[in-house]
Amino acid sequence: MNLSELIDQIDQLDSFKRYGRVKRVVGLMIESQGPPESSIGDVCYIHVGTKRKRTIQAEVVGFKNEEVILMPYTSTNDISPGSLVEATSKPLEIRVGSQLVGSVIDSLGQPLDGTPLPKGLTSVPTDQEPPNPLKRPPISSAIEVGVRMIDSLLTVGNGQRVGIFAGSGVGKSTLLGMIARNTTADLNVIALIGERGREVREFIERDLGPEGLSRSIVIVATSDQPALMRIKGAFTATAIAEYFRDKGLNVMMMMDSVTRVAMAQREVGLAIGEPPTTKGYTPSVFALLPKLLERTGTNEQGSITAFYTVLVDGDDMNEPIADTVRGILDGHFVLDRALANKGQYPAVNVLKSISRVMNNIVQPDHVNASEKLRETLSTYINSEDLINIGAYKRGSSIDIDEAIRLYPNIISFLKQGTHEKVTFDEAVQQLFDLVGKGE
């Protein structure tokens, strides 16, 4: 930075500090008289305590009768009527850089283990606009995720956004761990939003492992944290991924789960007086989802390949959040509880899943082989009841006979051990060996 730029920045500094006073706290909301000139999204500091003074960070989320409505990033303990509210006049910013790789941080960008942040990091705002649609390069190449079923039958493009839809306990975290360890992406950015505290360390040590963590940045916002922290966890993770994308890297981003981000936004919306609509979700939820999900993908410098897990209540794929997210993303993988109960892992139901860019990024013989396997598997599933009760006679249908012959090999092909790594070329070759090239 030269001297003239430094002087310009000094000239733009606001030398005044603006303050307000807390009037009342109702549930998640803090109502304050002032600070003046506060804007939606601005961060404020609430000064609390008498003997042990400290500050609580809060964000401006609305206005009511000339009063400022704030929501805290932490608990509201020690806030009292008259507590001083100091305006910063700027939104939340986090510190990012390559020194963060291998670390676990919270929604505000602070290391969870209590160590200080490394030096030499760059400040970036958490809330940014998605890339210009006309400046997004088309997805033209595949990215290896190291899961045979996905690479061969649901090929993911470099910069594609995919939803992983599943109920609880069907193997979402295990699948994300496999992708994080095996992918050829330059860097993983993993957001654990609304997770149980016990599961965070289990995911990092068991599912991700030292190999995966060494090339990852993990952002954690557990379920006990305020709603705003859970929302900011998603935005912080996205901002970190954008920073490395703008450096020219191919980033793999994983968020578990986008449903809990929507639930947190519902809490905020209801607290500030929004009307509940579909299944109690407020209108701001359906405005936030595309704003968040569209930020990933390709731009002129690099790419963010994103996997978002979506919790489906009672395995209902048509509930509001699942339906909205499926309409925004470039593909969806459905984890099937029935397959998990049979011991088939990853429990991805190939017939209900789709990658919307696969046909544009792989060779025609690969597409043909994939479609042939799907057709054969569908033929067997549709006739499974007849086969199991012995009502089907061999020779009645050439297609069913072929499906019966190949079915055991197809199931073996779809299964993969948690720590078994299969390269993209190996996965495609094994598909060809199984069903041919589909001519």
12: confidence class by pLDDT, cuts 50, 70, 90: low
Whether residue 8 is contained in a domain is answered as no
**Nearest by Cα to 405 from 374, 434, 367, 427:** 434
| Overall average pLDDT of the 249-262 stretch | 94
Assess whether 104 and 249 both reside in one domain. yes
Q: Do 94 and 124 contact (CB within 8 A), yes or no?
A: yes
Assess whether 194 and 312 both reside in one domain. yes
132: confidence class by pLDDT, cuts 50, 70, 90: very high
Assess whether 257 and 384 both reside in one domain. no
- What is the rounded CA–CA span in Å between residue 231 and residue 187? 23
- So what's the pLDDT on residue 288? 95
Assess whether 183 and 306 both reside in one domain. yes
Helices 283-293/320-328 angle, 10° precision:
30
Q: What is the DSSP string of 304-345?
A: EEEEEEEE-GGG-TTSHHHHHHHHHSSEEEEB-HHHHHTT-S
Q: How many CA atoms lie within 13 A of 65 on its CB side?
A: 4
**pTM given for the model:** 0.91
Among 31, 60, 91, the domain boundary falls at 91
| Overall average pLDDT of the 335-345 stretch | 90
- What is the rounded CA–CA span in Å between residue 260 and residue 233? 11
pLDDT surpasses 80 at 144: yes
Q: What angle do CA 154, 205, 116 make, to 5 degrees?
A: 110
Among 359, 378, 401, the domain boundary falls at 359
Q: pLDDT tens digits, residue range 74-102? A: 888 888 889 999 998 889 999 999 999 99
Q: Do 25 and 48 contact (CB within 8 A), yes or no?
A: no
Over the chain, what is the mean pLDDT? 90
Which of 39-53, 107-121, 143-157, 317-331 shows the lowest per-residue confidence on average (mean pLDDT)?
39-53
| Overall average pLDDT of the 9-31 stretch | 81
Q: Which residue has the tokens 């509930």?
A: 319
Express as a percent the part of the chain with pLDDT over 90.
65
Beta bridge partners of 21: 33, 84
| Overall average pLDDT of the 120-125 stretch | 92
- What is the rounded CA–CA span in Å between residue 4 and residue 417? 60
Q: pLDDT tens digits, residue range 174-209? A: 899 999 999 999 999 999 999 888 889 888 988 888
Q: Which domain holds residue 53?
A: 17-91
Assess whether 78 and 102 both reside in one domain. no
- Domain with residue 352: its CATH number is 3.40.50.12240
